[in-house]
Amino acid sequence: MSTIDQRYLLAQIGSMYYEQDMTQSQIAERLGLSRVKVYRLLKEARAEEFVQIVINWPTSRDHQSEQAVRRAFGLKEALVLQSGQSGASPILNQLGQLGARYLEHLLQDGMTMAVCLGRSTYEVIHAIRPGFRARVHVSQAMGTMPFALQELDSASLARHLAAKLGGDVRYLSSPLMADSPEAADVLRAQRDIRGTLDAARAADVALVGIGNLDPAHSGFVKAGFIAPEDMVQLLAAGAVGDIAGQILTADGQLHRCDYNRRVIGITLDELRHIPTTIAVAAGLDKARAILAALRTGAVNVLCTDDATAAAVLEQQ
Q: What is the CATH number of the domain that holds 216?
A: 3.40.50.1360
DSSP type of residue 264: -
Give the HSE-up count for residue 19: Cα atoms under 13 Å, Cβ half-sphere: 9
Number of structural domains in the chain: 2
Examine the domain organization and report whether 236 and 210 are in the same domain. yes
Is 185 among the domain residues? Answer: yes
Report d(CA 51, CA 43) in Å as an integer. 9
At residue 203, does pLDDT exceed 90?
yes
> CB–CB of 106/79 below 8 Å?
no
pLDDT for res 57: 61
Examine the domain organization and report whether 255 and 211 are in the same domain. yes
Is 281 among the domain residues? Answer: yes
pLDDT for res 76: 97
Is 54 among the domain residues? Answer: no
At residue 86, does pLDDT exceed 50?
no
Q: What is the CATH number of the domain that holds 20?
A: 1.10.10.10
Query: Quick one: average pLDDT of 160-184?
Result: 93
Write the pLDDT tens digit of every residue in 21-42.
Answer: 889 999 999 999 999 999 999 9
Q: What residues form DSSP beta bridges with 142?
A: 265
Contacts of 20 by beta carbon, 8 Å cutoff, 6+ apart: none
Examine the domain organization and report whether 80 and 221 are in the same domain. yes
Examine the domain organization and report whether 141 and 16 are in the same domain. no
| Spatial CA neighbour of 165 closest among 209, 100, 92 | 100
Report d(CA 80, CA 304) in Å as an integer. 5
Query: Quick one: average pLDDT of 50-68?
Result: 81
Q: What residues form DSSP beta bridges with 177?
A: 263
Examine the domain organization and report whether 267 and 184 are in the same domain. yes
| Spatial CA neighbour of 73 closest among 300, 303, 314, 262 | 300
Report d(CA 123, CA 137) in Å as an integer. 20
pLDDT for res 55: 66
Examine the domain organization and report whether 131 and 250 are in the same domain. yes
CA-CA distances (angstroms) from residue 297 to 73, 245, 253, 273, 291? 8, 16, 10, 10, 11
3-state secondary structure (DSSP) of residue 81 = strand
Is 41 among the domain residues? Answer: yes
Q: DSSP string of 123-184?
A: HHHHHS-TT----PEEEE-B-BPPGGGGGGSHHHHHHHHHHHHT--EE---SBSB-SSHHHH
Q: Any idea of the CA torsion for 302, 164, 20, 41, to the nearest 10 degrees?
A: -110
CB atoms within 10 A of CB 18: 15
Is 57 among the domain residues? Answer: no
Residue with the bigger pLDDT between 153 and 93: it is: 93
Report d(CA 38, CA 261) in Å as an integer. 50
pLDDT for res 4: 59
Examine the domain organization and report whether 159 and 226 are in the same domain. yes
Confidence of residue 145 (pLDDT cuts 50, 70, 90): confident
Contacts of 302 by beta carbon, 8 Å cutoff, 6+ apart: 69, 73, 75, 77, 78, 79, 278, 279, 281, 290, 294
Is 55 among the domain residues? Answer: no
Examine the domain organization and report whether 12 and 96 are in the same domain. no
Structural domain boundaries, residue 293: 63-315
Is 52 among the domain residues? Answer: no
At residue 87, does pLDDT exceed 50?
no
Is 58 among the domain residues? Answer: no
Examine the domain organization and report whether 261 and 165 are in the same domain. yes
pLDDT for res 1: 58
At residue 75, does pLDDT exceed 70?
yes
Residue type for position 283? G
> CB–CB of 238/262 below 8 Å?
no
Give me the helix-helix angle, 24-31 and 3-14, nearest 10°: 140
Lowest mean pLDDT among 10-19, 86-95, 206-215: 86-95
At residue 240, does pLDDT exceed 90?
yes
Examine the domain organization and report whether 15 and 82 are in the same domain. no
DSSP type of residue 139: E
Query: Quick one: average pLDDT of 244-261?
Result: 97
Sign of the Cα torsion 43, 119, 283, 100 reads negative
Q: What residues form DSSP beta bridges with 100?
A: none
pLDDT for res 88: 40
Examine the domain organization and report whether 280 and 137 are in the same domain. yes
Examine the domain organization and report whether 176 and 296 are in the same domain. yes
